[in-house]
Amino acid sequence: MKKKAALALIVILMIAVLPVCAGNVFALSVWIAAAAMMVTNLLAVLRNRRQSAPFSPQSEIRNVHTLIIGDMIDPEITGTTTDFVQISAPGRSLQSCYEILRHTHSILDDKGGACVIFAVKEGNDEGFSVFDLPFFHTITIRKYGLGKLNRFRKFPALICPVRAILMALGAKSRNYRESSALPDEALSFCHERGYSLRIFLR
């Protein structure tokens, strides 16, 4: 099977590269676009994977003070300079932030003083993206019917190219302001566990 896949890859590369060698400008453009897409995809996936690394059993990152979940936000805006874990992806919704919180909050210091920050674009209340899936348990993927999306978790550039580019570039937004309107469900979740919750909107 691996031999067949390798052979197919070689044939595809030859089809793509030969016209380029022959000086075909259109083929060259397609080739450059495809290469850029692959690089973008790789960078976005790696950045997403790095964010989920602290949650592995091998990680020593535990009992952190602050968990930042949401859009690409500069930690300086939240006043968090050290001792935080950030899980950010462009265009993350409020619903997704809360679901990620339900999956990741055990990394916070349960002896008190822990803080959760949501950073979302105003009005972006619902929906999930491929960048949320590394943080979700199988039962959550089933609960929300995210099986199809999960098949593309390694190919974000294919299904959400703009978000993938922003993710790959690590673009951060500075146009956030703290909101006093806190979502009830998340607020009571945090309250029961002794965490404080802050929300930033743009």
Partner 1 sequence: MSSPKTYGELKPVIFSALKEGINRFDTAPSYRTEGVIGDVLKSAENELGLSRKDYWIQTKIDAWQMTEGNIRKHFDDALEKFGTEYVDALLVHWPVPEKMSDTWTQVAGLKSSGLVRFTGICNVRMRQLESIAGWDELPDIIQIERSPLRVCADEEEFCRRNGIELQAYSPLCKMDHRLRDSALLHDIAARHGVSIGQAVMRWHVETGAVPIFATTKPGRVREYSAVTDFSLDDADIAEISTLDCNHKMYLESFACPGF
Instruction: Check binding of 138 to partner 1 (CB under 8 A).
Output: yes
What are the tokens at 59?
């990680």
> Within 13 Å, how many C-alpha atoms sit on residue 105's CB side?
23
Instruction: Check binding of 188 to partner 1 (CB under 8 A).
Output: no
**Phi then psi for 109, rounded to 5 degrees?**
-70, 110
Binder of partner 1 out of 1, 2, 57, 177 (CB under 8 A): 57
- H/E stretch holding 85: strand 84-88
70: helix, strand or coil: strand
Instruction: Check binding of 49 to partner 1 (CB under 8 A).
Output: no
Binder of partner 1 out of 75, 140, 144, 152 (CB under 8 A): 140
Residues 61-120 that bind partner 1 (CB under 8 A): 62-63, 99, 102-107, 109-111
Helix then strand count (H, E) for the chain reads: 9, 5
Instruction: Check binding of 152 to partner 1 (CB under 8 A).
Output: no
Instruction: Check binding of 29 to partner 1 (CB under 8 A).
Output: no
- C-alpha–C-alpha distance, residues 153 and 143, integer Å: 17
How far apart are CB 136 and partner 1 at their closest, in Å?
A: 8
What are the residues binding partner 1 (CB under 8 A)? 55, 57-58, 60, 62-63, 99, 102-107, 109-111, 135-140, 142-143, 189, 192-193
